């Protein structure tokens, strides 16, 4: 039975991804800072701060002790902050880098070693359409996700000969905690820019991400965006 780790699995997209994988017969280990309410015989919650290296390595060791392998890592945990560049506190930028970039780094590094040993594995890093759009008012957030995209490409190049694929998937606004603080007008403008005037449903985002493990046709190091970027 295939084994997956999903970060940020307590709610929103992370939980929806966990539920999808469980429905497809996977064993799923969910990493989150808060208590998780998802109950399933093949779901194992872990209290993890992805920005803390020791926390991540301990949790990954626990997964390997229980399951013996990891076939899929989805780096979904993330944080956002919308503010003008000149008004964004350095502490905010550091916090976003800690969760979005270092969180992906710590998990990829810990899980990647196991995948190299087993000569197989898939890593999916979550990014955003705000990166290629260079979205105004989100400098710190965009920078942290741009770092994730760069990490994706370099990791793919380093691991391509060892059976490990590393890709990234970029989404537009979803109805999650990350976007509910953003004004409806701003979300509407962004959705228009990416050719999705009706927005993106959670189920649509899950199906787009799931193509990475259901129909793995893209080359390692690929970054796919849900939407038409102009």
Question: Which active-site residues does the annotation give?
Answer: 141
| Sign of the torsion angle spanned by Cα atoms 85, 188, 174, 152 | negative
Q: Report how far Cα 2 is from the mean position of its chain's Cα atoms.
A: 19
Residue indicated by tokens 């193509």: 211
SS3 74: strand
CA distance 42 to 29: 8
Tokens 């991400």 -> residue: 209
Cα–Cα distances (Å) from 169 to 145, 162, 201, in that order, read: 11, 22, 15
- In angstroms, the CA 48 to CA 155 distance is 23
Contact 131, 140 (CB under 8 A): no
115 burial class (0-12, 13-18, 19+ CB within 10 angstroms)?
A: buried
Whether residue 12 contacts residue 79, with contact meaning beta carbons closer than 8 Å, is answered with no
Task: Say how far apart CA 166 and CA 179 lie, in whole Å.
Answer: 26
């Amino acid at each position: 039975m295939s084994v997956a780790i999903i970060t940020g699995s307590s709610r929103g997209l992370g939980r929806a991804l966990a539920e999808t994988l469980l429905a497809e017969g996977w064993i799923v280990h969910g990493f989150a800072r808060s208590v998780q309410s998802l109950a399933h015989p093949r779901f194992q919650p872990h209290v993890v701060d992805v920005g803390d290296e020791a926390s991540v390595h301990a949790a990954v060791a626990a997964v390997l002790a229980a399951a013996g392998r990891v076939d899929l890592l989805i780096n979904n945990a993330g944080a956002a902050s919308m503010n003008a560049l000149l008004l964004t506190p350095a502490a905010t930028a550091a916090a976003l880098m800690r969760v979005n970039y270092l969180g992906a780094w710590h998990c990829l590094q810990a899980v990647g070693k196991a995948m190299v040993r087993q000569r197989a594995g898939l890593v999916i890093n979550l990014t955003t359409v705000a990166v290629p759009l260079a979205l105004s008012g989100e400098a710190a957030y965009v920078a942290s996700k741009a770092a994730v995209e760069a990490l994706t490409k370099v990791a793919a190049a380093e691991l391509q000969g060892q059976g490990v694929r590393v890709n990234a998937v970029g989404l537009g606004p979803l109805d999650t905690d990350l976007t509910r603080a953003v004004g409806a007008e701003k979300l509407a403008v962004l959705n228009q820019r990416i050719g999705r005037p009706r927005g993106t449903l959670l189920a649509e985002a899950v199906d787009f991400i799931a193509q990475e493990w259901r129909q793995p046709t893209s080359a390692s190091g690929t970054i796919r965006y849900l939407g038409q970027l102009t």
